[in-house]
């Protein structure tokens, strides 16, 4: 697109500087690594404070919560998780919720927790049809206005089913094309995007500025489930090398299935990233 070069000049450098730490050798490493707390969901429900302490020891700096049976913050109040995270040198950057009867409460709580983003984690209405995705786009537009009023940025997180085609149209693209790019952002789950045969780099080029958030995960294509970094089929290094092209500002490690335990996988994934040079 004609605006892509200007966009990269304007925001690419800032995005890269927020996530990359230059070395004199010319190589770089990621910093401010985030984690989606759904990765350690059972541990958070059992001992939220202790689990956050463990994640801080591993080196994670940013957190993205996910609604659970104990609420949006695993039994903690918004101000509590904000303080605990800050005391541990971490930031509650984002959170996954649903657009439902508790939507406004979720918006208010996200503001209290000091979040920058609020992410809708599933479609607000069901149906793999063009008309339903157009309806969802309208809902996202209103939800984004609600977030803007509280100084939050709204985003939607994809799975695999959004990339299905109906009537010759990719359903995910309908969400992108029928929402204001300044208001409605996307959190691209790189694992699901690649597993469905899509190239994230093409989406970054076609829709610049729409993907300030990533879920960084590796995927086992045979089992169609997540795995530790380097054990699946996703080229993690390639994704990281293209961070500046995507305009990403924050990424969150997410893993839903594990070789051993969730915390062991979380540490493994962080250590994997820490060793990368590019």
Residue-level pLDDT, tens digit, the chain, 278 residues: 434 334 334 444 444 444 544 433 446 788 899 999 999 999 999 999 999 999 999 999 999 999 999 999 999 999 999 999 999 999 999 999 999 999 999 999 999 999 999 999 999 999 999 999 999 999 999 999 999 999 999 999 999 999 999 999 999 999 999 999 999 999 999 999 999 999 999 999 999 999 999 999 999 999 999 999 999 999 999 999 988 878 899 999 999 999 999 999 999 999 999 999 87
Given a contact cutoff of 8 angstroms between Cβ atoms, the answer to whether 16 and 248 are in contact is no
pLDDT for the residue numbered 19: 53
In the chain, the number of structural domains is 1
Residue 15 domain flag: no
Q: Examine residue 239 and state whether it is found in any structural domain, yes or no.
A: yes
Q: With respect to residue 12, please indicate whether it lies within any of the assigned structural domains.
A: no
Per-residue confidence (pLDDT) for residue 120, from 0 to 100? 98
Residue of 241, 215, 245 lying closest to 155 (CA atoms): 215
Please check whether residue 172 lies inside any domain of the structure: yes
Instruction: Indicate whether 5 belongs to any domain.
Output: no
CATH code at 64?
Answer: 3.20.20.150
| Domain extent for 103 | 32-275
**Residue 17: inside a domain, yes or no?**
no
Question: Is 242 inside any structural domain?
Answer: yes
pTM of the model: 0.89
Can you tell me the distance from the alpha carbon of 140 to that of 21, in angstroms, rounded to the nearest whole number? 35
Let me know if residue 14 belongs to a domain.
Answer: no
Token couple for 125: 């209405």
Give the C-alpha distances (Å, rounded to integers) separating 240 from 31, 164, 215, 236.
Answer: 11, 26, 12, 6
- Listed in sequence order, the residues at least 6 apart from 32 whose beta carbon sits closer than 8 Å to its beta carbon are 18, 19, 61, 62, 250
Q: Given this model, what pLDDT does residue 245 score? A: 79
Tell me the CA distances in angstroms from 246 to 26, 77, 147, 231, one per residue in order.
Answer: 21, 34, 23, 24
Question: What does the pLDDT read at residue 10?
Answer: 42
């Amino acid at each position: 697109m004609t605006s892509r070069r200007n966009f990269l000049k304007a925001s690419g450098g800032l995005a890269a500087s927020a996530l990359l730490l230059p070395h004199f050798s010319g190589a770089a490493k990621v910093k401010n690594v985030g984690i989606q707390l759904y990765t350690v969901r059972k541990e958070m429900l059992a001992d939220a404070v202790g689990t956050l302490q463990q994640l801080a020891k591993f080196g994670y700096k940013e957190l993205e919560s996910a609604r659970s049976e104990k609420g949006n913050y695993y039994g903690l109040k918004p101000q509590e998780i904000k303080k605990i995270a800050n005391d541990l040198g971490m930031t509650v950057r984002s959170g996954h919720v649903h657009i439902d009867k508790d939507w406004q409460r979720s918006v208010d709580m996200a503001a209290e927790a000091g979040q920058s983003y609020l992410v809708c984690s599933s479609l607000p209405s069901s149906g793999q049809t063009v008309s339903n995705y157009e309806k969802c786009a309208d809902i996202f537009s209103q939800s984004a206005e609600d977030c803007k009023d509280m100084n939050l940025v709204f985003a939607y997180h994809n799975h695999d089913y959004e990339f299905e085609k109906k009537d010759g149209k990719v359903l995910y693209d309908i969400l992108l094309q029928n929402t204001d790019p300044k208001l409605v952002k996307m959190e691209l789950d790189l694992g699901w995007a690649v597993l469905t045969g899509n190239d994230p780099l093409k989406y970054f080029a076609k829709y610049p500025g729409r993907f300030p958030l990533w879920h960084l995960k590796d995927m086992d294509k045979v089992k169609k489930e997540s795995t530790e970094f380097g054990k699946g089929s996703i080229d993690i290094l390639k994704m990281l090398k293209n961070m500046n092209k995507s305009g990403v500002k924050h990424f969150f490690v997410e893993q839903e299935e594990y070789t051993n335990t969730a915390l062991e996988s979380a540490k493994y994934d962080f250590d994997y990233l820490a060793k990368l040079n590019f």
